[in-house]
Amino acid sequence: MLPRVGALCRALLQVRLFLAALTLLGMLGRTVTLSFLLAFAGAVFSSWLASHYWDRLAPRLARHPILGGLDVVISYGILSLGGPLGPFFLFTVVTAALAGLLYRWRGVTYICALQVLFYYGALATAGIGPANWSFQTLIGQPAYYPVVGFVGVAIRRLLDEQDRTEEARRNAEVAAAAAEERARLAREMHDSLAKTLRGIAMAATALPAWLERSTERAAREARGLASAAEVASREARGLITHLRSDQLDRPLGDAVQKIATEWSRMTEIPVTLDCAAHVELPLMCRYEAVAILREALTNIERHADAFSVRVCLRRDGDRVALEVADDGRGFAPGPDTEDWPDDLARRGHYGLVGMHERATRADGTFSISSAPGAGTRVVAVLPAGASAPTHQQEAKNPAESG
């Protein structure tokens, strides 16, 4: 059963309890029999029991419409003792709405037919003669049962359609996630593994010529090929590891903590973590944020000679900021110009350029602040909206502190 259907049924049962209280107030000052009080108490108790233990009882009620018929029988006992024209009538109408939600067309037809039949039986048992009959008594009140029951059926249909729509949306998101994962893997292979393999191929092509010219140089090239092959192997294993570890079953904050903790354990460089709770990103932005974090930590390991690192993940309005700062040697980012990525590339800072490209690809911004001897701080700010980015924004200047 859909959670929304269950919540609505439970709310209707609570409405029944409220109507029962109104009924009891309406009986004040009137003479009531012990049989009526017992039947009334039984009806109220059964409604409370169903409301309180709905999660357990709902599957059985949904599978067996005859159990709904028992509620009609209990209601008939009260109608016959208290009169079908009394305030308890509204209590019985809720049963029709519940039947519509639980049983749809066939079940509600069965329940409402029983209710109408028992209503006329209670009318005859109560001794209400033809002199007291009216259109409301004969047609109006029993008509409430099928009308309310079919309203319940209509609501159930709307809830079912909404559930199918959400299921289709979830399936579409899964398909989009798979497509984005393939695209991400292709980008990773192009940025790392493919370049390494291309270098190996070029060196292997030149090796025969070096064998003829200089055996010493050929030996160095062969050792270089072996080293490059090992690098390619590590990159391939890294891609597989990242593919397995960057799944969506882990909150972004947990993923950031896991990556930073593992990196700290491998490098023996302490990391201070400041990750806000319940911070998430759309699928594409999430992958790029994780890749930026990995690249930033790799840069620190290779170049910074840092003693400590700080990683911060925080929500800032409709955007998420990922900050990685170290206390290492630092560097001079360069002049305050719009082509700072090209300037960094010319000076060999390809990791920083790659992080800038990733942030831009995710419709975010990337900033660098650093100085010789003062460490380096990089900040990627990515959109936290539910939809994928549709345009690119300009990156911040590296001289900005963010």
Please tell me what DSSP assigns to residue 250.
S
How would CATH label the architecture of 250-402? 2-Layer Sandwich (3.30)
Q: Is 104 left (phi over 0), alpha (psi -120 to 50) or beta?
A: left
| Residue range(s) of every CATH 3.30.565.10 domain in the chain | 250-402
Arithmetic mean of pLDDT over the chain: 78
Of 46, 72, 51, nearest to 7 (Cα)?
51
Calculate mean pLDDT across residues 98-120: 84
Q: At what angle do helices 54-63 and 89-125 cross, to 10 degrees?
A: 50
Query: Cα(first)–Cα(last) distance of the chain, in Å?
Result: 50
In this predicted model, what pLDDT tens digit does every residue of 182-238 receive, in sequence order? 766 666 666 666 666 777 788 788 888 888 888 888 888 888 778 778 777 766 766
What pLDDT, on a 0 to 100 scale, did the predictor assign at position 343? Answer: 63
Task: Collect all residues with Cβ–Cβ distance below 8 Å to 219 and sequence separation of at least 6.
Answer: none
H-run or E-run covering 383: strand 376-383
What pLDDT, on a 0 to 100 scale, did the predictor assign at position 225? Answer: 79
Lowest mean pLDDT across 276-280, 310-314, 317-321: 276-280
